Amino acid sequence: MDKDRDAVAPPVEEVAALWAACRHVDGTGCAALAGDWITYRRGLDTRALAALDLVRVLPDRHPWPAWMPWMQRPPVEWLSLYPLAVPMYDAGGALRLLRFRAVTEIREVDADANPAALRWRPRKVEPKGIAPRGARLAGLLLADPPGRAMLRGESGGDLGSPGEGWDGVRVVICEGEPDTWTAATIMRKAPGRTRDGRTWATLGVVAGSWTAELAARVPDGAEVALWTHHDAAGDKYATRIADTLAARCKVVRSPRPEDRDDG
């Protein structure tokens, strides 16, 4: 049975309004705490992450739409567990919904001796990510600025790739939000610039969201690197994505940790 068969997507205008009300992770208060968690847990520069606009922090107050996954919890309790909003885009590069990501608590360590010291206290929160009520994720993904431009069919030349269009583009497809954030910040010094003069586009899949329609937005001849996890689910994602792209793109899978040559 397809449990998403009768799902109703959140209205795009409500999704856009909530996204606009969110704060960047390099802000103050709750936004700063979420940014500290991202920095501590993933080693990411929150300013670069804010520039890529891949994640924001939910506002403390908002005219919450009916599709928010509050369940039976009060909003203040829910927000303390899932404060991160992650934008999900369709094959045309349009914002369609927000997915909400759990954050593990951070506490100060000996603040008098070292005010900058923070301790990450593991706290099991399941699930790690929650989609809006009634939403389906098939056909939606995370995308950095070049990725969104690629989905929209905009000129790749405007983003620094050689020649016209998207010739020579390199696409990294990751599994999950944190790995997508990491790849996007590694591959790009800043939006619109690349490390090696070629355009890198970063996409992220969650919960089996990859579809043939999304695959069709990847240009012919693209070099595609699959950064999915090396477990049963990640192998399944990699196989599914490769099957839709291998006939017209160069597709490689990231090596398993034990197979890497660090010499």
Domain ranges of the chain: 12-130, 142-259
The two structure tokens encoding residue 247? 């006939």
What's the mean pLDDT in 222-246? 93
Q: What pLDDT sits at residue 7?
A: 57
Q: What is the pLDDT of residues 21-79, one digit of tens each?
A: 999 887 666 666 677 778 776 778 888 888 889 999 998 888 888 899 875 566 667 77
Return the higher-pLDDT residue of 48 and 13. Answer: 13
pLDDT for position 99: 94
Q: Cα–Cα–Cα angle for 83, 133, 227, nearest 5°? A: 65
CATH class label, 142-259: alpha beta
CA 72 to chain centre: 27
- Looking at residue 211, its pLDDT comes to 94
Quick one: pLDDT at residue 163? 36
Mean pLDDT (the chain) is 79
% of residues, the chain, pLDDT over 70: 72
Q: What is the dihedral of CA 212, 254, 88, 210, to 10 degrees?
A: 20
The pLDDT confidence band at residue 243, using thresholds 50, 70 and 90, is very high
- The candidate with the shortest Cα–Cα distance to 202, out of 231, 229, 232, 182, is 182
